[in-house]
C-alpha cells in the first residue's frame, strides 16, 4: 500500500463531513467557516476573504522546498435540486449519502460531487504527513455555480504560485487546458401596451431537449425562444402580442416558451392553422427534439393589454435578427469558437427583455458579438446591460504542467493516453489565470454522472484512481 492509498479513508471522511453542511450556491457561509476551523485545528495557515473564499497554505514536504509552488483549487458551493417527493430542506439540512459498491449518491437530491470531491481531496492532502508535495496552497471558492462569483473576488495575492490544479472536471482521463470566456447580455426594448378587443390565443412550445449552452450549442437542438419567433412569423393573420415567457436561465438552451396573442375573431382559425403548419416545419428541421409539442388554444373574446399589430411585426423582426447558436468554429480544435444562447425572453413592465450568454475562446470576438447585440437593441430605441464578464482561458500548448500531468497519467494507467482538450464553457481557471501572468492551470477530476440532477452519482473506483493520479502529479511536478 502506498502512502496515498491509506489516505483514501480521509478523502471519504471529508466528503461525509461537508455533506452534513448545507452548501448550495449563495448559502456557503457555514461551509466556509467549517474549512477555516478545520485548518486551525490542523495548525495550518488559513484566511478567508469577504466573499467567503478560503485559502489554506502548507509548507513543502522535506526535499520539495525548492519545487515550484502549486495551488489546488475547487469550489465550496453545489447546485441544489431534489425529486418532487423529497421533503428535505436543502437550505438548512445536509445530504443523506447512499454508499454503493460502485457509486456514491444522495437520497432524493443532488450529491454535490461537483465540487465536493475537490474539497475532500484537498483536505486529505493537507492533513497527510507522508504524501510528498511542493509548497501547497488550497484555494476553495464560493458561488461558482451562479457565475464564478467567488473566483472573481479572489485577490491576486492568493495566486502566488506557478501551477494551479483545478479539481472540478467530471470525466476521468480528460485534462482540460483552456476554456471560453463569457458575458451575460441583457437587452430591454420598450413597447406600448394598449387595451384592445380580440380573441386571446395561447401558443405553447414544450418538450424540447435543451442542454448546456456551451457544451451543446453546436448540436442541432431547438431553442424554444428563437423557434417561437419563427412560429409567429409564419402567421400571416394580424395579431398583437400580449405576453411572452420563455427559458429559465441564460446558460441553458430553453426547452419551453409560452406566448399569448390577441387577434380578430374572424382570424382565429387562420392563426390556429398557421401554428399547426409551423409545428410540422419544426419537426422536419429538428429531428433530435422528438418530444416537441406545439399547441395553440383560443379563449373567449375579451379586452386585453396588447402591443399593436404594427409594433408586434417590428418587434418580431428585431427578435429574428438576434444572433443565436454558433457564430464561429475553431477549425483546428473542431469545436465552437464563438457562440451565444438566447436563454430568456419575456414581456413585462412595458418592455421586451432578452437575456443571452455570449461565449468565445477569443476575447475580442466575445466583445464584438456582445456589441452587436447592444447595437440591435439601441436601433429599436432600447438599452443593454452586461454582467458576469469573464475572460477566456486561452490554450498554451505543451506547458511543463501539461507534460507532467500526461506523463503521470500514462504511468498510473498502464501507458494509456489521456485526452487533452479545451471546452466551450466557462471555468474558474479562466478567471484565476487572468489575475496572474505567472500561473499555468489544468483541470481534471473523477467521473461524475448526471451532475446537477437528483440522479447525480460519483464513481468510487474513479475517485480512487484520480486520487492516485493527483498525488503522482504533486510528487513529480517541477522535478
Q: Enumerate residues 6+ apart whose C-beta is below 8 A from 153.
A: 49, 50, 51, 53
CA 211 distance to own-chain centroid: 11
Helix, strand or coil, per DSSP, at residue 441: strand
CB 153 within 8 A of CB 87: no
- Reply yes or no on whether 145 is catalytic: no
CA distances from 354 to 140, 225, 289, 341 (A): 33, 10, 23, 10
Q: Which of 114, 115, 143, 144 is catalytic?
A: 144
Q: Is the torsion defined by CA of 66, 401, 114, 357 positive or negative?
A: positive
List, as one string, the DSSP characters of 263-323: E-GGGHHHHHHHHHHHHHHHHHH-TT-TT-EEEEEE---EEEEEE-HHHHHHHHHHHHHS-
Closest-CA residue to 35 (of 120, 159, 128): 120
C-alpha cell recorded at residue 171: 470525466
- Reply yes or no on whether 65 is catalytic: no
Q: Looking at the chain, how many residues does it have?
A: 479
The number of beta carbons lying within 10 Å of the beta carbon of residue 156 is 13
CB 88 within 8 A of CB 82: yes
Angle between helices 224-233 and 309-321 (to 10 degrees): 140
Q: Left if phi > 0, otherwise alpha if psi is -120 to 50, otherwise beta: which for 266?
A: alpha
Catalytic residues, by residue number, are 77, 144
Amino acid at each position: 500500500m502506498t502512502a496515498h492509498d491509506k489516505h483514501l479513508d480521509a478523502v471519504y471522511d471529508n466528503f461525509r463531513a461537508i455533506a452534513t453542511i448545507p452548501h448550495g450556491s449563495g448559502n456557503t457561509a457555514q461551509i466556509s467557516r467549517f474549512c477555516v476551523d478545520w485548518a486551525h485545528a490542523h495548525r495550518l495557515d488559513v484566511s478567508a476573504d469577504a466573499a467567503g473564499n478560503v485559502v489554506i497554505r502548507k509548507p513543502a514536504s522535506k526535499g520539495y522546498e525548492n519545487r515550484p509552488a502549486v495551488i489546488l483549487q475547487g469550489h465550496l458551493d453545489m447546485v441544489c435540486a431534489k425529486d418532487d417527493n423529497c421533503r428535505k430542506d436543502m437550505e438548512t439540512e445536509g445530504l443523506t449519502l447512499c454508499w454503493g459498491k460502485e457509486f456514491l449518491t444522495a437520497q432524493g437530491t443532488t450529491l454535490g460531487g461537483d465540487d465536493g470531491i475537490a474539497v475532500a481531496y484537498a483536505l486529505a492532502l493537507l492533513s497527510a504527513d507522508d504524501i510528498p508535495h511542493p509548497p501547497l496552497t488550497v484555494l476553495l471558492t464560493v458561488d461558482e455555480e451562479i457565475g464564478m462569483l467567488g473566483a472573481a473576488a479572489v485577490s491576486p495575492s492568493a495566486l502566488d504560485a506557478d501551477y494551479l490544479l483545478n479539481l472540478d472536471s467530471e470525466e476521468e482521463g480528460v485534462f482540460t487546458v483552456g476554456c471560453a470566456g463569457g458575458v451575460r447580455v441583457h437587452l430591454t426594448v420598450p413597447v406600448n401596451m394598449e387595451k384592445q378587443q380580440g380573441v386571446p390565443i395561447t401558443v405553447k412550445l414544450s418538450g424540447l431537449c435543451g442542454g448546456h449552452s456551451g457544451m451543446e450549442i453546436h448540436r442541432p437542438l431547438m431553442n424554444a425562444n428563437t423557434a417561437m419567433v419563427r412560429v409567429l412569423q409564419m402567421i400571416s393573420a394580424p395579431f398583437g402580442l400580449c405576453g411572452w415567457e420563455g427559458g429559465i436561465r441564460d446558460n441553458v438552451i430553453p426547452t419551453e416558451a409560452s406566448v399569448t396573442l390577441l387577434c380578430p375573431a374572424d382570424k382565429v382559425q387562420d392563426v390556429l392553422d398557421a401554428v399547426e403548419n409551423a409545428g410540422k416545419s419544426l419537426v422536419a428541421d429538428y429531428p433530435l427534439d422528438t418530444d416537441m409539442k406545439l399547441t395553440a388554444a383560443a379563449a373567449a373574446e375579451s379586452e386585453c393589454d396588447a402591443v399593436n399589430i404594427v409594433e408586434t411585426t417590428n418587434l418580431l423582426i428585431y427578435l429574428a435578427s438576434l444572433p443565436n447558436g454558433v457564430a464561429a468554429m475553431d477549425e483546428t480544435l473542431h469545436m465552437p469558437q464563438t457562440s451565444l444562447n438566447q436563454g430568456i425572453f419575456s414581456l413585462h413592465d412595458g418592455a421586451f427583455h432578452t437575456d443571452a450568454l455570449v461565449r468565445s475562446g477569443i476575447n475580442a470576438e466575445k466583445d464584438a458579438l456582445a456589441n452587436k447585440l447592444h447595437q440591435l437593441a439601441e436601433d429599436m430605441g432600447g438599452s443593454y446591460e452586461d454582467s458576469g464578464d469573464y475572460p477566456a482561458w486561452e490554450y498554451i500548448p505543451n506547458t511543463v504542467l501539461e507534460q507532467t500531468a500526461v506523463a503521470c497519467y500514462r504511468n498510473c494507467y498502464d501507458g494509456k493516453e489521456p485526452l487533452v482538450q479545451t471546452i466551450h464553457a466557462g471555468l474558474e481557471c479562466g478567471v484565476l489565470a487572468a489575475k496572474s501572468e505567472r500561473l499555468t492551470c489544468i483541470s481534471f477530476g473523477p467521473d461524475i454522472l448526471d451532475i446537477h440532477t437528483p440522479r447525480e452519482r460519483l464513481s468510487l473506483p474513479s475517485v480512487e484512481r484520480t486520487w492516485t493520479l493527483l498525488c503522482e502529479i504533486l510528487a513529480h511536478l517541477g522535478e
